[in-house]
C-alpha cells in the first residue's frame, strides 16, 4: 500500500511532466521565460518611447528596419556558429551583450542622452544578438526536449511564452504610466542577466560533437542545411509555404486587423488590445491541449488544418458585427497557428540531426522573416487598391487555398 501511494504521488498531468523529470528543461525554460517577459515589456515601451522622442512614424519604421536587417543577415552565419561551438556559451554571450545594451539604453535614457541614431545602433545590436541566440536556442530545445517529454516540453514552452507575452505588455503599460520607460529597459536588462545565470547549469548539454575535419568552406557550410531540408518533403514544402504564407497572415494581423477594428468598425482602442489578447489566449489554450498528450497522430493533416482554420477566421472578421466576435475569431486564429507551430517544432526535432540543427533552424528562420517587410508593404498597397475589406478577403483566401492545396500532397497529408 505505501508503494502504491508513492506511485500515485508521482502521477502528474503529462503537460507538467518535463518540469518534474528534467533538470535541464527547468533551467532552459526558466531562463527563456524570464527573458521573454522582459522583452514583452520592452516591446510595448519602445514604440511609446520612440514617439515621445521623435513623434514620427518614420522613425519607428526605421527602428524596426534596424532590428530586422541584422537578424536576416546573421542567421545563415549563426547557424554555422551554433553547429561548431558550445551552444550554451553562444546563448550566454548573446544574453550578456543584450544585458549590456539594455543597461546602456536605460542609462542614456535616464540622463536624457539618448538620441535616435544611438537608439538605432542599440536596437541593431539587439537584432544581431537575437539572430545569434535563436538558432542556438532552437538547437538546445532539440537536444533537451527528448522524445519522452517532447510534446509536453514544446507545449509548455509555448504556453509560458504566450502567457508572458500576454502579461508583459500590461506590465509595460503600467511602468510607463506610473514610472518611466527607462525603468522598463532596466527590467529587461535584468532578465537577460538572470537568463545568463540559468544557462550556467547547461554548459555540458551545450557541447557539440567535434568534427574530424574543418576544411569545408565556411560559405558552403552556411547553406549545408539546405541539403538536409531538400531530402525531406515535409521540411522543404513547409518552409517554402511559410515564406509566402507569413506575408498574408502577418500582413493581415499587423496592418489590416487594427484598421478593421479602429477605422472600419469604429471600435474603441481597448478593443484592439482585447482582440489581440484573444489571439494569445487561443495560443495558450492550444498549447495546453497539445501538451496533454504524449503523442499525436496524423500531424500533417492536423497542422495544415490549423492554418486553414486560422485563415478562415481572418476571412470572417470583416463580417463580424459585434466586438465579441472579433475576440472569438482571433482566439480561433491564435489556436490554429499555435497547433501548427507545435507540430512543426516537434517534427523538426525528430527529423533533423543534432550536428546540423543550427543551420537548418537558421534557414527556417530566414524563410519566416526575410519576406515580412515586403509583406507589410504589399498589404498596404493592396489595401490602397482594393480597400481594407477586399485586401483581407484576397489575402485570407490565398492562405486558406494554399493550405488546402498543399494537403493534396501525399507527403504532407500522410505525415504522421
Domain ranges of the chain: 11-205, 223-413
413: its cell numbers? 497529408
At 205 the three-state DSSP class reads coil
Q: What is the pLDDT of residue 217?
A: 57
Instruction: State the Rg of the chain over Cα.
Output: 22
Residue 375, C-alpha cell as written in the block: 509583406
* Sequence-distant contacts of 216-222: CB under 8 A, at least 24 apart: 218/80, 221/80, 221/83, 221/359, 222/76, 222/77, 222/79, 222/80, 222/359
**DSSP helix, strand, coil percent of the chain (3-state; round to 5):** 85, 0, 15
Residue range 289-314, pLDDT digits in tens: 877 777 778 888 888 898 889 989 98
Cell of 240: 517554402
CA 237 to CA 407: how far, in whole Å? 11
Q: What is the pLDDT of residues 105-148, one digit of tens each?
A: 889 888 888 788 888 899 899 989 988 898 888 888 888 888 78
If 0-12 CB within 10 Å is exposed, 13-18 middle and 19+ buried, where does residue 212 land? exposed
The residue to which cell 567535434 is assigned: 210
Q: Do domains 11-205 and 223-413 have the same CATH topology?
A: yes
User: Do residues 102 and 186 make contact, with C-beta atoms less than 8 angstroms apart?
Assistant: yes
pLDDT of residue 60: 65
Q: What is the CB neighbour count within 10 angstroms for residue 284?
A: 22
Rounded to whole angstroms, how far apart are CA atoms 281 and 302? 20
The pLDDT, as a whole number, for residue 109 is: 83
Give me 304's grid cell.
495544415
Say how many CA atoms lie within 13 Å of 180 toward its Cβ: 10
CATH code reported for the domain at 11-205:
1.20.1250.20
pLDDT, position 7:
39
Task: Report whether 296 contacts 151 (CB < 8 A).
Answer: yes
Which residues, in sequence order, are CB contacts of 390 under 8 Å at separation 6+? 382, 383
Output the pTM of the full model: 0.76
Rounded (5°) CA angle 65-274-127:
20
Q: How high is the pLDDT of residue 223?
A: 63
Residue range 223-413, CATH number: 1.20.1250.20
Q: Which residues of the chain have pLDDT under 50?
A: 1-10, 212
pLDDT at 56: 61
CB atoms within 10 A of CB 228: 19
Q: Which three cell numbers stand for residue 58?
A: 518614420
* Start-to-end Cα distance in the chain: 41
Amino acid at each position: 500500500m505505501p508503494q502504491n501511494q508513492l506511485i500515485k504521488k508521482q502521477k502528474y498531468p503529462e503537460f507538467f511532466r518535463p518540469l518534474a523529470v528534467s533538470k535541464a528543461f527547468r533551467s532552459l525554460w526558466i531562463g527563456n521565460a524570464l527573458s521573454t517577459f522582459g522583452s514583452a515589456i520592452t516591446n510595448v515601451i519602445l514604440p511609446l518611447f520612440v514617439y515621445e522622442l521623435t513623434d514620427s512614424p518614420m522613425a519607428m519604421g526605421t527602428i524596426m528596419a534596424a532590428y530586422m536587417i541584422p537578424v536576416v543577415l546573421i542567421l545563415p552565419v549563426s547557424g554555422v556558429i551554433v553547429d561548431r561551438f558550445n551552444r550554451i556559451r553562444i546563448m550566454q554571450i548573446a544574453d550578456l551583450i543584450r544585458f549590456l545594451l539594455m543597461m546602456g539604453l536605460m542609462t542614456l535614457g535616464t540622463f536624457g542622452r539618448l538620441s535616435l541614431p544611438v537608439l538605432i545602433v542599440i536596437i541593431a545590436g539587439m537584432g544581431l544578438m537575437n539572430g545569434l541566440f535563436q538558432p542556438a536556442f532552437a538547437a538546445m530545445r532539440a537536444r533537451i526536449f527528448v522524445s519522452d517529454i517532447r510534446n509536453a516540453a514544446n507545449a509548455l514552452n509555448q504556453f509560458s511564452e504566450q502567457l508572458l507575452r500576454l502579461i508583459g505588455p500590461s506590465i509595460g503599460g503600467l511602468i510607463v504610466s506610473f514610472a518611466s520607460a527607462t525603468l522598463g529597459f532596466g527590467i529587461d536588462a535584468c532578465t537577460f542577466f538572470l537568463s545568463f545565470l540559468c544557462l550556467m547549469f547547461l554548459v555540458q548539454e551545450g557541447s557539440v560533437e567535434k568534427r574530424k575535419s574543418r576544411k569545408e568552406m565556411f560559405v558552403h557550410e552556411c547553406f549545408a542545411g539546405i541539403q538536409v531540408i531538400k531530402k525531406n518533403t515535409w521540411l522543404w514544402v513547409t518552409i517554402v509555404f511559410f515564406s509566402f504564407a507569413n506575408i498574408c497572415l502577418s500582413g493581415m494581423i499587423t496592418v489590416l486587423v487594427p484598421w478593421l477594428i479602429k477605422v472600419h468598425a469604429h471600435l474603441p482602442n481597448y478593443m484592439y488590445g482585447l482582440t489581440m489578447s484573444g489571439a494569445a489566449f487561443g495560443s495558450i489554450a492550444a498549447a495546453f491541449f497539445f501538451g496533454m498528450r504524449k503523442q499525436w497522430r496524423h500531424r500533417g493533416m492536423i497542422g495544415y488544418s490549423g492554418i486553414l482554420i486560422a485563415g478562415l477566421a481572418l476571412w470572417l472578421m470583416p463580417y463580424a458585427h459585434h466586438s465579441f466576435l472579433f475576440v472569438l475569431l482571433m482566439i480561433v486564429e491564435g489556436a490554429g497557428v499555435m497547433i501548427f507551430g507545435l507540430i512543426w517544432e516537434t517534427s523538426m526535432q525528430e527529423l533533423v540531426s543534432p550536428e546540423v540543427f543550427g543551420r537548418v533552424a537558421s534557414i527556417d528562420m530566414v524563410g519566416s522573416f526575410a519576406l515580412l517587410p515586403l509583406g507589410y508593404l504589399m498589404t498596404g498597397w493592396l489595401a490602397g487598391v482594393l480597400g481594407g475589406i477586399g485586401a483581407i478577403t484576397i489575402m485570407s483566401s490565398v492562405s486558406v487555398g494554399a493550405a488546402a492545396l498543399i494537403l493534396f500532397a501525399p507527403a504532407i497529408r500522410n505525415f504522421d
